[in-house]
Each structure stands twice: as structure tokens, then as C-alpha cells.
């Protein structure tokens, strides 16, 4: 039996019967065939908000640890927990504990200046993770060849602006007209705000002469007046940076990954997880068009017309129905509709992430008194706001698995 198929079978058993099958460390691929490359892009939730604190607590609990067996070095739960407890410094609460995460040598990852074997620590919190971890395990379990993940994501980015693909860009004349309107509005706002701040500061100064508790003076922060280059440059900036990240990584494989043997590579897939920032300023109205153009332009850029695309549909608030016609409803419907285009048949898929919403984290966050009523309890399940899926490690683990399974379905 193919060793990878055998390992995939054992991994499946470990997921179903976590107490029966022991996890093993993951050696580098010995294949001399081309590296299988996958691009992961989007905004903050693709960066990854899976916090290590709730993850390590859940590993210490028999009820939850089976979810994360492959996260732990040698599958040794007790060793992991002991290392964390020994490394906690009560005199320096900011010092991160020592986490004994597993390392997968047959899957490489490149993320904005950081590169190496797949492990926990390629998320937005430095010791955290995102969908890339379980996605990488799905790919590594499937392929004999070396796998490379190139993650390019930044927080707070909109498809209608920063990630705007070239095919969605407007003409210079249209951008210039927009810029003039924005500059005019900003100039008027600045003039009014400056007078308002000056008047408020005069009042505060007078009150402070006799007040026991002094108030701070307000700061005047003007809105920008754009040059044409700066205004137009906002559009597509993150798309261009993403493209540059991928090209630079692929051009420097030996430098970044010493195990590279010159076997070449092929770009097989792209995972897109984004949407939050397009809910504002009417950006959602063009989401469907922009998403379809993103797929077309990425395939053209990397000369990979058959590249498979997985779209992670927004899943905030879980299975709670979205308000009909709301920006979020509009975006989610666009994310589900684009894969149904005839040109994308069998090559683009959509994964509903609302099914992965962490209901235990949700119950604490929204319960009587909210998360702050018992902070220690809260940090057993999450460490962030709802727009970051509570920072729930269980959410980001499930999302990564879902993206991986959909990618393999498309590749078949």
C-alpha cells in the first residue's frame, strides 16, 4: 500500500478513535516529483486567529484533546501539558509558555518573511495558527510529493479595494473623478473639524484651571488629501503584494527551504477566506464580479488555467440566519454563486464556515455578563471578538480541514 495512503488511513482512525492510534512525527518527502504548491490568501481570518492559550488548555482536557492529536509533538499529550506548566513564569506573565507542537517536514510553509516546516506559529498571534495548519495536514496526508503552502494575507482588507484584481480596475479618468470628490469632502471636513477642536480645547483649558482632574486636550487629525498616485495605488495593492509574495517565494525555494532538490513545482490550488471589510461603503455590491475576476486573473498571472479554487464562505454568527438583503447576506450569496458559473464548473468550490462556529465559545461570550465575567473560563475556548470567530482554535482547525477536503475533491 502507498505509504501516504496508509498514513491517511491511520490518521482517519486517529480522528475517529483518538485513543487507539498514536500520532507520529512527519518526515520530509523523498519524492523527486514536482512540489505541490497551494496559495492561501485573504484577510485577518486567513492570517489565523487560532490562539494558543485555549488550544493548550483543551489539549489538557480528555474531552477535547482528541481534536488536536496531530498538533502535538509525538502525540504526547502529557508531555505537552507538563512542558507548558513548567515554562509558565508567574513573575513574567507576558512570556509565552513552551509549546511542544508537531512539525510536518513534508509540508513547507511561507508566510510574509517566515518560512519552514509546517507547525503551529504561522498565524496572526505569533504563537497561533489559522486554516493553513489542518489544510496542510490534509494535503500532506494525500500527496507523496513535497507540499508548499504560500500564505499571503493581511488584516482589514477588502476585495473591492486592496485585493481588487486587475480586471476589476477602473480607468484613470474614473479614479481621478473619485479622488476629486473624496478630496473635496475631506477638505470640507478638515476645515470644520479644525475649528471644532480649537473651540473645544479653549473650553477644556478654561475648565482645567479650576478642575481637580485635568482633561486632555483634543488632537486635530485631518483626513488625507490624496495625490492621484496615492489614491489609485490603494486599489489592488494587496493583490499585487500577494502576487509578489508568491513569485519571490518560488524564485527562492532553495534559500528558504534547504531540502529543495530542484525538482520544480506546480501550482495546484488557491484558497480564499475573506469578506468582512466588503460589508462597508457599498463594497458588497461588486463582490460577485470582483471574486470571479480574482479567479480569472490569478489563473492568468500564474499561468495555471486549471488551478482549483476554494472559497471559504463567511460564517460569522454560525447558523443564525442573515438578514435578507444585508451586506453579509449579499456577500455570502456571491461567494456561493461564483462556483456555479459554467466556466468554473468542477474547478471552484465553496465551503460554508458557519457550520464550524464554536458554540461553546459563543455561549460564554454572549452569556449573562459576557466573556469578561469569567476571563479565565473564556480563555479556555477563545480570546478574540466574533469577527475573528472568537479566536477559537476549534473553528480554525475545522475550517482548515474543510478547505483541504474541498480542495482534494476538486483535484480529483
Written in H, E and C, the secondary structure of 39-88 is: EEEECHHHHCCECHHHHHHHHCCHHHHHHHHHHEHHHCHHHHHHHHHHHC
Tell me, yes or no, whether 196 and 126 share the same domain: no
Q: Quick one: which of 328, 323, 321 has its CA closest to 277?
A: 328
Residue 90 C-alpha cell reads as 508567574
Nearest to 97 by CA among 107, 106, 109, 85: 85
Considering the domain architecture, whether residues 182 and 88 belong to the same structural domain is answered as no
Q: What is the pLDDT of residues 24-52, one digit of tens each?
A: 589 999 999 999 999 999 999 999 999 99
Residue 17 has pLDDT above 70, yes or no: no
| The 35-42 sheet, strands edge to edge | 114-118, 104-111, 147-153, 35-42, 265-273, 308-313, 348-352
What per-residue confidence (pLDDT) applies to 90? 87
pLDDT greater at residue 327 or residue 22:
327
User: Does 99 lie in the same domain as 38?
Assistant: yes
Phi-psi region of 236 (alpha: psi -120 to 50; beta: other; left: phi over 0): left
Query: Do 162 and 188 belong together in one domain?
Result: no
**Pairing label, strands 308-313, 348-352:** parallel
One domain for residues 335 and 191 = no
**Taking a C-beta distance cutoff of 8 angstroms, is the pair 397, 132 a contact?**
no
Closest CA to 197 of 183, 180, 218: 218
**CATH code for position 279:** 3.40.50.1110
Ranges assigned E (strand) in 100-259 = 104-111, 114-118, 147-153
Same domain, 191 and 96: no
Number of domains in the chain: 2
Mean pLDDT of 331-355: 98
Query: Looking at the structure, do residues 151 and 250 belong to the same domain, yes or no?
Result: yes
Q: Residue 200's domain spans which residues?
A: 177-228
- Do 182 and 160 reside in the same domain of the chain? no
pLDDT single digits (tens) 73-116:
999 999 999 999 999 988 898 888 999 999 999 999 999 999 99
Show which of 211, 228, 245 is a domain's final residue: 228
Distance (Å, whole) CA 6 – CA 337 = 37
52 with 186, same domain: the answer is no
Q: What are phi and psi of 151, to 5 degrees?
A: -105, 125
Radius of gyration, alpha carbons of the chain: 24
Mean pLDDT value across the chain: 93
343 pLDDT exceeds 80? Answer: yes
Measured between alpha carbons, how far is 298 from 36 in angstroms, rounded to an integer?
17
Residue 13 has pLDDT above 50, yes or no: no
Same domain, 283 and 404: yes
| Res 7: pLDDT | 46
Question: Which is higher by pLDDT, 298 or 16?
Answer: 298
Tens digits of residue pLDDT in 106-161 = 999 999 999 999 999 999 988 899 999 999 999 999 999 999 999 999 999 999 99
Pair 322, 371 in one domain: yes
Confirm if 358 and 398 have CB atoms less than 8 A apart. no
Amino acid at each position: 500500500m502507498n505509504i501516504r495512503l496508509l498514513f491517511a488511513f491511520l490518521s482517519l482512525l486517529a480522528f475517529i478513535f483518538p485513543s487507539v492510534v498514536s500520532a507520529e512525527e512527519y518526515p520530509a518527502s523523498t519524492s523527486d516529483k514536482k512540489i505541490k504548491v497551494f496559495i492561501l490568501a485573504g484577510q485577518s481570518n486567513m492570517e489565523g486567529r487560532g490562539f494558543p492559550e485555549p488550544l493548550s488548555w483543551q489539549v489538557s482536557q480528555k474531552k477535547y484533546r482528541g481534536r488536536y492529536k496531530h498538533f502535538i509533538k509525538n502525540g504526547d499529550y502529557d508531555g505537552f501539558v507538563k512542558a507548558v506548566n513548567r515554562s509558565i513564569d508567574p513573575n513574567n506573565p507576558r512570556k509565552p509558555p513552551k509549546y511542544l507542537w508537531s512539525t510536518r517536514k513534508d509540508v513547507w510553509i511561507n508566510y510574509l518573511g517566515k518560512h519552514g516546516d509546517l507547525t503551529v506559529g504561522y498565524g496572526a498571534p505569533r504563537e497561533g495558527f489559522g486554516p493553513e495548519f489542518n489544510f496542510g495536514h490534509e494535503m500532506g496526508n494525500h500527496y507523496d510529493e513535497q507540499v508548499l503552502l504560500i500564505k499571503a494575507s493581511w488584516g482589514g482588507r477588502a476585495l473591492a479595494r486592496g485585493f481588487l484584481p486587475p480586471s476589476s480596475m477602473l480607468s484613470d479618468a474614473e479614479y481621478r473623478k473619485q479622488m476629486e470628490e473624496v478630496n473635496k469632502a475631506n477638505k470640507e471636513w478638515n476645515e470644520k473639524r479644525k475649528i471644532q477642536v480649537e473651540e473645544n480645547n479653549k473650553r477644556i483649558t478654561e475648565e482645567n484651571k479650576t478642575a481637580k482632574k485635568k482633561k486632555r486636550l483634543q488632537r486635530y487629525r485631518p483626513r488625507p488629501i490624496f495625490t492621484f498616485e496615492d489614491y489609485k495605488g490603494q486599489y489592488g495593492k494587496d493583490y499585487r503584494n500577494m502576487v509578489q509574495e508568491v513569485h519571490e517565494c518560488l524564485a527562492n525555494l532553495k534559500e528558504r527551504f534547504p531540502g529543495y532538490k530542484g525538482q520544480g513545482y506546480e501550482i495546484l490550488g488557491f484558497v480564499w477566506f475573506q469578506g468582512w471589510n466588503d460589508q462597508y461603503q457599498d463594497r458588497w455590491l461588486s463582490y460577485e464580479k470582483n471574486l470571479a475576476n480574482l479567479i480569472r486573473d490569478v489563473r492568468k498571472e500564474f499561468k495555471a488555467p486549471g488551478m482549483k479554487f476554494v472559497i471559504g464562505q463567511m460564517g460569522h454568527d454560525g447558523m443564525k440566519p442573515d438578514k435578507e438583503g444585508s451586506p453579509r447576506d449579499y456577500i455570502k450569496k456571491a461567494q456561493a454563486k461564483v462556483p456555479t458559473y459554467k466556466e468554473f464548473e468542477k474547478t471552484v468550490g465553496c465551503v460554508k464556515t458557519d457550520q464550524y462556529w464554536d458554540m461553546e465559545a459563543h455561549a460564554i461570550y454572549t452569556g449573562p455578563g459576557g466573556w469578561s465575567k469569567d476571563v479565565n473560563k473564556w480563555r479556555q475556548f477563545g480570546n478574540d471578538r466574533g469577527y475573528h470567530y472568537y479566536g477559537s482554535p476549534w473553528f480554525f482547525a475545522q475550517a482548515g480541514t474543510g478547505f483541504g477536503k474541498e480542495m482534494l475533491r476538486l483535484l480529483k
